[in-house]
Amino acid sequence: MTTTSMTTITTRTMTDTTTTSTSTAMIKTLTAGLLLVLLVSCNPRLSNGLRRKDLHKDVEITTTMGVIIIRLSDSTPLHRNNFLSLVKKGYYDSLLFHRVIWNFMIQSGDPDSKYGHPGKPMSQGGSGGPGYTIPAEFRPYLFHQRGALGAARMGDDVNPTRASSGSQFYIVEGKRWTDAGLDSTERFRLKGWKIPPDQRAVYKEQGGSPHLDQQYTVFGEVVKGMEVVDSIAAVKTSGPPSDRPLTDVRILKMKLIPRKTGLVK
């Protein structure tokens, strides 16, 4: 075989090797691109920076007194999506539980509370928010049982549609009720709303705050950490009207976490 033939064969071999390497690299790039497209299509971006899978996650609230895990209701999508979006943005990190009433509820979500002074009223009286409200999403089967997550709002006199605050929320601690107490609540606080028998049983056995039913939107519940809610509700406060804890109770971090089964309040 001549030198020229050997050179030609070597050149062809090198060219074939280069072509094969280039093809392999292209295939790997295309495969990676297709996988990325598949992943994005399975978990597309929604409004407010959320992705579809975010809608089925729980929220972990790490406070200075322990961890609370809440699950949002799919029956109240406006409140659910707004809350998840704020959590992802870090909106609630470092905010205080600025209003606490034993045997009733603990309240947070006021951005003005981040730099509040211990034991002092909020600069805006606890009315701070992101600058918008959310239309009410009352559901007859979502009620203020112990552990319910509700949306705070301005009073009926300035808010006749009962639209919710854009960020402020509360978690119900509540108390156990008697039939007489529930009858009185129906008559004087609920303006004709009748508490269903199954919900009455829950209020008598587990407790809650029935006078808020169909007045404030319930959009989730505690699935773990009610002992932390009880501890926060028991701290000493300034008393009415602000009911601010004398020692700050702060949300250190909120984040989305995968849902787990078998959680106990």
Separation of alpha carbons 232 and 97, rounded Å: 8
Distance of alpha carbon 207 from its chain centroid, rounded?
22
Does residue 58 sit in the same domain as residue 28?
A: no
Does residue 33 sit in the same domain as residue 56?
A: no
Contact present, 28 and 21 (Cβ < 8 Å)? no
Tens digit of each residue's pLDDT (9 = 90 or more) over 172-196: 999 999 999 999 999 999 988 899 9
Residue 264 lies in a domain: no
Contact present, 114 and 179 (Cβ < 8 Å)? no
pLDDT score at 260: 83
Residue 22 lies in a domain: yes
Residue 249 lies in a domain: yes
pLDDT score at 201: 98
In the numeric block, the tokens 């034993």 are attached to 102
Does residue 122 sit in the same domain as residue 175?
A: yes
* Element housing 133 (H / E): strand 133-134
Terminal C-alpha separation, the chain: 85
Counting as low any pLDDT under 50, the low residues of the chain are: 6-11, 14, 35-40, 124
Q: Domain range spanning residue 2?
A: 1-42
* Amino acid at position 188, single letter: F
Does residue 88 sit in the same domain as residue 165?
A: yes
Does residue 20 sit in the same domain as residue 91?
A: no
Separation of alpha carbons 57 and 55, rounded Å: 6
In the numeric block, the tokens 């009720």 are attached to 177
Q: Give the contacts of 204 (CB within 8 A, at least 6 positions apart).
A: 176, 177, 178, 179, 182
Residue 80 lies in a domain: yes
pLDDT score at 21: 61
How do strand 99-101 and strand 105-108 relate by DSSP bridges? antiparallel
pLDDT score at 37: 45
The count of structural domains within the chain is 2
